[in-house]
Amino acid sequence: MEKCLAPSILSADFGVLKEQLELIDDAGAQYVHFDVMDGVFVPSISYGMPVLKSIRKYTDRLFDVHLMIVDPERYIKDFAEAGADIITVHAEACKHLDATIDLIKSCGAMAGVAINPATPVSTIKHVLDKVDMVLIMTVNPGFGGQKLIPYTIDKVRELCDLCNKLGVKIDIEVDGGINIDTIDAALDAGANIIVAGSAVFKGDVKANAEALLEKMR
């Protein structure tokens, strides 16, 4: 599977967001990761459809929308219309995960499912053949700049092995605490989509993104 960098704009400078998008574009990042938070599913609030809509015209990179919200089925159509290419919902936030995945695909987006650190990989076993991507949270969701939780790397390996056993080819994304020191462990375990917020947007954005992309070659 192709290795892609998905900078999370959660840590970007929103005062110059267009310019920051150009920097990650120039570096070669393939995705833009949007961390949508409602203050209920996670203890923080971020942004929603208006931000997606406003920057869609500035880049053709894949918009990777991570919904950290309760009952996400309420907003799937809105995010698809705002320009989302992938919409990822949390298994823990869905009453009817199988149906919500169908809804995402019916809205023309690729479907992702995310699990928090303490949620077993087996929870999503029955939908692996329906999704395009699985997001393994490598921190407890809600804030950028946290430290990676080591046991989550074992979950990446467990998921990769399960996909191979089931014969399904899906992208495996990791999100939280990924930086120049932790990226190798995530890649070695089988992750191929790398979310990085503070490791990209704190400091020299283009150089940070290029350094992570270099590790992915």
Give the length of the chain. 217
Nearer to Zn ion, 61 or 66 (CB): 66
- Give the residue among 155, 153, 55, 72 at the shortest CA–CA distance from 109: 72
Which residue in 59, 146, 149, 157 binds ligand DX5 (CB under 6 A)? 146
The binding track of 39-78 with respect to ligand DX5, each residue x by CB under 6 A or -, is ---------------------------x------------
Which residues face 137 on adjacent strands? 175
Instruction: Please tell me the distance from the alpha carbon of residue 1 to that of residue 134, in angstroms, as a whole number.
Output: 13
Alpha-carbon distances of 214 from 14, 27, 153, 183, rounded to whole Å: 26, 10, 21, 11
Exposure string of 134-156, with b = 16+ CB inside 10 Å and e = fewer, is bbbbbbebbbbeeebbeebbebb
CA-CA distance, 100 to 11, in Å (whole number)? 28
The least CB distance from residue 92 to ligand DX5, in Å, is: 14
For residue 142, the minimal CB distance to ligand DX5 (Å) is 5
Residue 196 within binding range of ligand DX5, rule CB under 6 A? yes
C-alpha closest to that of 11 among 217, 190, 175, 187: 175
**Residues 47-66 contacting Zn ion, CB under 5 A:** 66
Neighbours of 170 (CB within 10 A): 21
Q: At residue 149, what are phi and psi to the nearest 5 degrees?
A: -90, 115
55's tokens = 């920057």
Q: What percentage of the chain's residues is helix, strand, coil (to nearest 5)? A: 45, 20, 35
Of 17-25, 153-161, 174-182, 200-208: span binding Zn ion (CB under 5 A) = 174-182
Check if 175 is active-site.
Answer: yes
- Binder to ligand DX5 among 35, 38, 132, 171 (CB under 6 A)? 35
The encoded tokens of residue 215 equal: 């590790």
Pick one of ligand DX5, Zn ion, none as the site partner of residue 143 (Cβ within 5 to 8 A by kind): ligand DX5
Out of 76, 109, 163, 178, point to the residue binding ligand DX5 (CB under 6 A).
178
Q: How far is the CB of 59 from ligand DX5 (least distance, A)?
A: 18
| One of 4, 5, 10, 111 touching ligand DX5 (CB under 6 A) | 10
Q: Report how many residues bind Zn ion under the rule CB under 5 A.
A: 3
Residues identified as active-site? 35, 175
Point out which residues bind ligand DX5 (CB under 6 A): 8, 10-11, 35, 66, 139, 141-146, 175-178, 195-199
Point out which residues bind Zn ion (CB under 5 A): 35, 66, 175
